[in-house]
Amino acid sequence: MEPLTTEMILVMIMIGIAVFLFIVEWIRVDVVAILMMVSLPLLHLVTPTEAFIGFASNAVISIIAVIIIGAGLDKTGLINGLVQPVLRIAGKSPSRVIIAISVTVAGISSFMQNIGAAALFLPAIQRISKQLKIPLSKLLMPIGFSAILGGTITLVGCSPLILLNDLLAPFHLKPFGLFDVTPIGLALVASGIACFMLLGRFILPKGTTDDDHTDIQLEGQDNLPALGEQYELHTPVDFTDYREPVTVSDLRQRYLVNVVAIIEPPDFKVTSPGSDIEVRSDIDLVVCGKKKDVTRMAEDEGLLLKEDVDVFKDDVSESTSGTVEAVVAPRSSLVGKTLNQANLQDQFRVTPLAIYRRDETYRAEISNMVLEVGDSIFLHGTWRRLKILQEERSLLFTTPVDVEFMRPEKAMLAGFWLAVALSMIMFFKIQLSVSLMTGALGMIVTRVLSIDEAYSSVDWRTIFLLAGLIPLGIATEKTGTAAWIAHAILNTIGTVQPIVLLTVIGILSTVFTLVISNVGATVLLVPLVVNMAIAAHTDPRVAALVVGLATSNSFMLPTHQVNALYMGPGRYRSVDFMKAGLVVSIVFLVVMIGMISLIYGV
Partner 1 sequence: MAIITISRGSYSKGKEVAEMVASKLGYDCISREVLIKASDHFNIPEVKLIRAIHDAPSILERFDRKRQAFVAFIRSELACRVSTDNVVYHGLAGHLLLKGIPHVLKVRIIAQLEDRIITAESQRAGISKEKARTLLLNDDQERRKWTQSLYGVDPWDSSLYDLVIHIHKLQVNDAVELICDAATRDQFKTTDKYKRKMDDFAIACQVKAALVDQFSEVGVTSHFGNALIFAKSGDRVGQKLKKRVKELNNEIKGINNLEIHFGLPLPPDAV
Residues that bind partner 1 (CB under 8 A): 244, 253-256, 293, 296, 357-358, 360-365, 368-370, 573, 575
Please say whether the beta carbons of 239 and 298 come within 8 A. Answer: no
Q: Which is nearer to partner 1, 363 or 478 (CB)?
A: 363
Nearest-approach distance from CB 245 to partner 1, in angstroms: 13
Nearest-approach distance from CB 255 to partner 1, in angstroms: 7
Nearest-approach distance from CB 340 to partner 1, in angstroms: 13
CA–CA gap between residue 254 and residue 364 (Å, rounded): 9
Q: Indicate the SS3 state at residue 358.
A: coil
Q: Which is nearer to partner 1, 349 or 363 (CB)?
A: 363
Nearest-approach distance from CB 363 to partner 1, in angstroms: 7
CA–CA gap between residue 298 and residue 578 (Å, rounded): 48
Dihedrals phi, psi of 376, to nearest 5 degrees: -100, 125
Query: Distance of CA 468 to CAs 30, 34, 538, 550, Å?
Result: 8, 5, 30, 22
CA–CA gap between residue 1 and residue 454 (Å, rounded): 50
Q: Which is nearer to partner 1, 237 or 364 (CB)?
A: 364
SS (H, E, C) 395-453: EEECCCCCHHHCCHHHHHHHHHHHHHHHHHHHCCCCCHHHHHHHHHHHHHHCCCCCHHH
Q: Which is nearer to partner 1, 370 or 451 (CB)?
A: 370
Q: Which is nearer to partner 1, 361 or 446 (CB)?
A: 361
Q: Which is nearer to partner 1, 175 or 205 (CB)?
A: 205
Dihedrals phi, psi of 351, to nearest 5 degrees: -110, 120
Which candidate, 516, 546, 552, places its Cα nearest to that of 533? 546
Nearest-approach distance from CB 334 to partner 1, in angstroms: 17
Q: Which is nearer to partner 1, 26 or 242 (CB)?
A: 242
The torsion angle over the Cα atoms of residues 325, 328, 330 and 335, rounded to 10 degrees, is 180
Nearest-approach distance from CB 289 to partner 1, in angstroms: 11
Q: Which is nearer to partner 1, 51 or 251 (CB)?
A: 251
Please say whether the beta carbons of 432 and 156 come within 8 A. Answer: yes
Q: Which is nearer to partner 1, 182 or 361 (CB)?
A: 361
Dihedrals phi, psi of 362, to nearest 5 degrees: -110, 125
Please say whether the beta carbons of 424 and 178 come within 8 A. Answer: no
Nearest-approach distance from CB 88 to partner 1, in angstroms: 40
Please say whether the beta carbons of 159 and 466 come within 8 A. Answer: yes
Please say whether the beta carbons of 210 and 218 come within 8 A. Answer: yes
Nearest-approach distance from CB 80 to partner 1, in angstroms: 36
Nearest-approach distance from CB 256 to partner 1, in angstroms: 6
